[in-house]
Amino acid sequence: MGSLEKIEEYARQNKVPIMQKDGIKFLENYIKQNNVKNILEIGSAIGYSAIKMALVDDKIKVTTIERDENRYNEAVKNIDDFNLNDRISIILADALDITVAGRYDLIFIDAAKAQSIKFFEKYKSNLTDDGAIITDNLNFHGLTENVDTIKSKNLKALVRKINNYKDFLKENEEFTSLFYNNGDGISVSKKNIKNRKI
Ligand code: SAH
Ligand code: MG
């Protein structure tokens, strides 16, 4: 039997950045309220959010991509412990190197923070017309509001990229995005009606 507490404890001990409680609650609510059934996740880590999302309803299917082999192996174990093999399929790959078939009513981006625009552009064609792209870590522990106070060059560059992503979403003519402060900052982006195919 799987245990979410054990996965949370493993994440704490091994510094795996799984979703914060308030963020995962937001995601679960979105899935319930919008009757989401097919989910694509970029960034599985150890499978925590994929498992949480799959547990919302037993008709939900999740495809999730992870590039780190150790985390992938841990995720495979966790998904197996929950007997969710038939509803969660995990792919070991860099999400920018592969293409995924099919359409999803939720695409959850929770991978390399500097590459969110690339993930968004690459995977938007896998979104159903009334689906949403949800992105995590837009506040990045509050740092996005205070870029000028950051001393580390690398960190500053990363935080700037996250702010670029937010600007990209705000200025996007194809999608409209709403921003929430739940967890570490979340956006929900939906296709404008005029860009839908039907
Ligand atoms: N969604 C998970 C946490 C993901 S942490 C949860 O809440 O439980 C982010 C993960 O994205 C890391 O494990 C990292 O290895 C992975 N990642 C980063 N860039 C990636 C890429 N380009 N392709 C696939 N995985 C990526
Ligand atoms: Mg995250």
Condensed to tens digits (0 to 9), the pLDDT of residues 51-106 reads: 999 999 999 999 999 999 999 999 999 999 999 999 999 999 999 999 999 999 99
The mean per-residue pLDDT over the stretch 13-30 comes to 96
User: In this model, does residue 176 exceed pLDDT 80?
Assistant: yes
Rounded to 10 deg, the angle between the 116-123 and 153-171 helix axes is 40
User: In this model, does residue 195 exceed pLDDT 90?
Assistant: no
The answer to whether 44 touches 13, Cβ cutoff 8 Å, is no
**Ligand lying closest to the C-alpha of residue 71:** 1
User: In this model, does residue 193 exceed pLDDT 90?
Assistant: no
Summary mean pLDDT of the chain: 95
In this predicted structure, what is the pLDDT of residue 6? 97
Q: What distance in angstroms lies between residue 197's CA and the mean position of ligand 2's atoms?
A: 31
Q: What distance in angstroms lies between residue 67's CA and the mean position of ligand 1's atoms?
A: 7
The CA distance from 152 to 26, in Å, is: 31
User: In this model, does residue 196 exceed pLDDT 80?
Assistant: no
Q: What distance in angstroms lies between residue 71's CA and the mean position of ligand 1's atoms?
A: 9
User: In this model, does residue 198 exceed pLDDT 70?
Assistant: no
Pocket test for ligand 1, best of 67, 74, 162 (most atoms within 8 A of CB): 67
